[in-house]
Amino acid sequence: MSNNKKSKEKKQKKKGRKIVGKVLLIILLIIIVVAGVFIYKVYQNGGGLTGIVTTLVGTDPEKVKSLPDFYCLLLGKSEAMTDTIMVAKYSPSTGDAALLSIPRDSFVGSNPNTATASDKINSKYQISPQRTIDAVNDLTGLNIKYYITVDTKALRDLVDAIGGVYFDVPIKMDYDDSSQDLYIHLEPGYQLLDGQKAEWLVRFRHNNNGTSYSYEYGDNDLGRMRTQREFLMAVAKQTLKLENITKINDILNVIEQEVETNIDFDTMMEYAPALLNINADNIKTDMLPGVAQYCNGVAVYLVDEDEAKQVVNNLFLTSLGTEETQGNTIANEANSNEISSGATVTEDLTIEVLNGTGSDSKLDRAIQQLEAQGYTVAKEGNTNVTEATTIINRTNNSADTESSLIALLGTGSSIMGEDNANVDFTIILGRDY
């Protein structure tokens, strides 16, 4: 090979290396610019885990804060029965959240004197999740649309995925049941619980010798519901830690494969950044008030309708709720006998309801909700089908009252209107109801 040819090849290789170097440099600069823009966007969107998710989802922080309150039924399933039933509410505008436990033996039949096991609310899931939602809506007067079902395996895997959860186990727990392959052995005190121990904790009711939680804490099922609520708050705190961003894939895998829900993907993406702003230290909790007794030889929980109305009002429908209760009968009785300072007086308010849903049953449902909460429905009628629910404030009522109506219906936006209908509010029900 001639010297000229060798020299030419060397020059071409050198030129090629320069081109590759320039391309790599350009790619590196692009990565730096993109990373810089992303970091800046994260900072603009609030920083931390919230900022990262908001940026990835591609939404706006102000839009997130303007989202309506989100209601969902949380169901813990074991052997086709929902032994854990909670109503959860989250307000993106404030970061506040609330949890209401529904006792699994709550009677939802027509006559307690002829009660059977199928009249308990925890049996409705065997028919369909919607039947459970309908039963909870009847008990609470709310308009819940979504549910999330987590079975015991999903709970174990989720807790393991986030590296365990620190929790103060309230009492020594020793229970063995070979028929369920359930063997619970936990010492009291603050400790790191893995998935298996987490399952033991939330399923525990009483020890082998019959002892259970103290009366002050909440005996048997009352104590278990309190523990479940407090453990759920601990899980929320642990999951929302920034270091868990590296575990997001594991968490999503558990949700995708083992969690059942009817929440559509668009709604999930819309609320995902908002949920990261939950103030886990300030979640209001309570349980549906009532009394446990035997009816027709069946152990049931009879919900006190008047007290339940007040608890639902305090927990979900007012700006200022009651202080967090301790999950026992005495605390619930004291709590439900007081209307919070932020409660809205509904007895003197008259409502006109116009049905734009195209469904007579939805109109009937809305009227039942309003009247159960103390509003007077003075007029009702039909209007053209419309997508969004609108609440027209005709007599300059407070913003808290508007918010209470929106919270009760589970959807809607409010506007001011003329005082020409002889009612305080006109509600135009949309298809979003």
Query: 385 in the Ramachandran plot: left (φ > 0), alpha (ψ -120 to 50) or beta?
Result: beta
- C-alpha distances (whole Å) from 325 to each of 18, 283, 285, 318 are 71, 11, 6, 16
**CB neighbours (10 Å) of residue 264?**
10
Q: What is the CATH number of the domain that holds 393?
A: 3.30.70.2390
Query: Is 63 part of any domain?
Result: no
Query: Is 295 part of any domain?
Result: yes
Domain count, the chain: 3
Contact (Cβ atoms closer than 8 angstroms) between residue 198 and residue 232 = no
Q: What is the pLDDT of residue 19?
A: 57
Q: What is the mean pLDDT of the chain?
A: 80
Q: For the segment 397-419, what is each residue's pLDDT rounded down to a tens digit? A: 998 899 889 989 988 999 999 98
> Mean of the pLDDT values across residues 371-382?
92
- Which residues touch 168 (CB under 8 Å, ≥6 apart)? 189, 190, 191
Indicate if 205 and 183 belong to the same structural domain: yes
Q: What is the pLDDT of residue 276?
A: 64
Indicate if 292 and 318 belong to the same structural domain: yes
Query: Is 158 part of any domain?
Result: yes
Q: What is the pLDDT of residue 258?
A: 84
Q: What is the pLDDT of residue 327?
A: 37
Q: 265 vs 422, which has greater pLDDT? A: 422
Please determine, for residue 428, whether its predicted confidence score (pLDDT) is greater than 50.
yes
Percent of the chain predicted with pLDDT > 90: 45
Q: Which two tokens stand for residue 331?
A: 């605390």
Alpha carbons 126 and 62: distance in angstroms, whole number: 41
Indicate if 98 and 161 belong to the same structural domain: yes
> Mean of the pLDDT values across residues 55-83?
74
Please determine, for residue 40, whether its predicted confidence score (pLDDT) is greater than 50.
no
Q: For the segment 105-135, what is each residue's pLDDT rounded down to a tens digit? A: 999 999 999 999 999 999 999 999 999 999 9
Percent of the chain predicted with pLDDT > 70: 74
Indicate if 263 and 388 belong to the same structural domain: no
Diameter over CA atoms, the chain: 109
Indicate if 30 and 133 belong to the same structural domain: no
Indicate if 122 and 267 belong to the same structural domain: yes
Q: What is the pLDDT of residue 312?
A: 93
Q: What is the CATH number of the domain that holds 157?
A: 3.40.630.190
Side chain identity, residue 14: K
Query: Is 2 part of any domain?
Result: no
In DSSP terms, 72 is beta-bridged to 88, 146
Confidence of residue 236 (pLDDT cuts 50, 70, 90): confident
Q: HSE-up of 283 (CA within 13 Å, CB side)?
A: 26
Indicate if 53 and 76 belong to the same structural domain: no
Q: Angle between the 152-161 and 195-203 helix axes, to the nearest 10 degrees?
A: 140
Query: Is 86 part of any domain?
Result: yes
Which strand (E) or helix (H) includes residue 195? helix 195-203
Indicate if 177 and 233 belong to the same structural domain: yes
Pick the closest to residue 230 from 250, 202, 197, 188 (CA basis).
202
Q: What is the pLDDT of residue 131?
A: 94
Please determine, for residue 326, whether its predicted confidence score (pLDDT) is greater than 50.
no
Q: 150 vs 342, which has greater pLDDT? A: 150
Q: What is the pLDDT of residue 60?
A: 58
Query: Is 343 part of any domain?
Result: no
Q: Which of 40-54, 200-214, 259-273 has the lowest mean pLDDT?
A: 40-54
Confidence of residue 181 (pLDDT cuts 50, 70, 90): confident
Q: For the segment 237-262, what is each residue's pLDDT rounded down to a tens digit? A: 787 676 766 676 777 778 778 888 99
Q: What is the pLDDT of residue 273?
A: 66
Q: Which domain holds residue 389?
A: 350-429
Alpha carbons 214 and 199: distance in angstroms, whole number: 21
Indicate if 262 and 232 belong to the same structural domain: yes
Would you report the helix, strand and coil content of the chain in percent, each value rounded to 5?
A: 45, 25, 30
Using only the alpha carbons of the chain, give its radius of gyration. Answer: 27
Q: Give the pairing of strands 70-78 and 146-151.
A: parallel
> Mean of the pLDDT values across residues 366-379?
92
Confidence of residue 63 (pLDDT cuts 50, 70, 90): low
Q: Which of 29-33, 79-83, 235-239 has the lowest mean pLDDT?
A: 29-33
The residue out of 336, 369, 395 marking a domain boundary is 336
Indicate if 410 and 267 belong to the same structural domain: no
Indicate if 36 and 185 belong to the same structural domain: no
Q: What is the pLDDT of residue 382?
A: 94
Alpha carbons 137 and 365: distance in angstroms, whole number: 10
- Which residues touch 308 (CB under 8 Å, ≥6 apart)? 139, 140, 288, 289, 290, 336
The residue out of 314, 336, 358 marking a domain boundary is 336
Please determine, for residue 334, whether its predicted confidence score (pLDDT) is greater than 70.
no
Residue with tokens 């600069």: 29
The residue out of 37, 58, 79 marking a domain boundary is 58
Q: What is the pLDDT of residue 93?
A: 79
Indicate if 320 and 372 belong to the same structural domain: no
Which DSSP symbol is given to 276? T
